[in-house]
Amino acid sequence: MFKKINTFAYNLGISNNPWTNVYGFARTLLALSLLLTLSLNNAEILFRPAAGITEFPSCGNNISIFCLVPNEYVYLNIIRWICVILLLLVASGWRPRITGIIHWFIAYSLQVSAITVDGGEQVNAVLALLLLPITLTDSRKWHWQSPNPIEVNSEKEIFKSIIAIVTLFVIRFQIAILYLHSTIAKLFSAEWVDGTAVYYYLADPMLGLPPLLFNLVKPILSSPFVVVATWGTLLLQICLFGALFAPKKYWNKFLLLALVFHESIALMLGLISFSITMCGALILYLRPIEQEFNFSKIKGLIRPKNKSTNYTTSDKKTAVN
């Protein structure tokens, strides 16, 4: 039995290369989400009193970077901009072994110390932590680079590959559970069961639609169609949980549906950073790690084409003569 397990682990390690730009692009999105939150919100917004919280930033029993300076907004803003600069480095893809730790520490610090409302920071902190076994075993200089071939005769390289591959499965399982938990929790709410929850969410004065837009769609939300939107959300979320068991050939279809779903939420409710975080999570969940993104077309649009002199055949003959 142990021989079979050893053979399975060996084949798993040599047949899959986890260090591709798929996980790299997801890391960049996660870092950009935190970067937007920290760069567009002053310390006075992120660190303030709340219900049951009198100390801010919250520094009880944690190792937050925001607790390393005096509890004054001028110092907190300095730390905030230092984090923004570091997150730019993370998003660039430089040295995943180093920036993976930086990413997690900033995500963790913001999640435990700041007052946030959309939940994206918590997802970001969990994913940054789960990504550590992958980033720490990634020897590339940039996470955009093509993966280095796995040396089939190197036990160390195969062991690193197995660690990263197993970690990716754990991440996929965690994201699937996130959607399952979200669905089950909604079923205990009367508004979700009777099909009116979408109306109340979009009418919420803090997170809902702007008044002008809400007045435009209010006739639709007040009609039986709101039941379709509400129950459709539950159906989509349970399908996204089921995607964990779907064959790889169907992953891209689930990914497209999920991206449209979260981008719609971002446009309607303004949860931009949460949407970016979930896009990064969905890439880790529903993009096969071996299906690398092709960014060559983007590079071609950015780089100017080299202007070279074209010589005709007659020109070349004249030059020779």
DSSP for 204-225 reads -TTTS--HHHHHHHHHHHTSTH
244 within domain boundaries: yes
- Spatial CA neighbour of 142 closest among 87, 100, 95, 101: 95
The amino acid occupying position 254 is F
- Model-wide pTM > 0.75: yes
> Residues for the chain: how many in total?
321
Is the Cα torsion angle 140, 146, 147, 149 positive or negative in sign? negative
Q: Report d(CA 5, CA 17) in Å as an integer.
A: 19
3 within domain boundaries: no
9 within domain boundaries: no
User: What residues make up the domain containing 128?
Assistant: 15-294
Cβ proximity of 145 and 130 under 8 Å:
no
The amino acid occupying position 112 is V
Instruction: List the single range of 44-48, 55-59, 78-82, 241-245 with lowest mean pLDDT.
Output: 55-59
311 within domain boundaries: no
In total, how many domains does the chain have? 1
- Spatial CA neighbour of 94 closest among 133, 144, 45: 144
299 within domain boundaries: no
310 within domain boundaries: no
249 within domain boundaries: yes
Percent share of the chain, pLDDT over 70: 89
pLDDT on residue 309: 42
234 within domain boundaries: yes
| 312 pLDDT tier (thresholds 50, 70, 90) | very low
pLDDT on residue 173: 98
- Spatial CA neighbour of 276 closest among 267, 286, 263: 263
Task: Give me the residues paired with residue 50 across strands.
Answer: 53
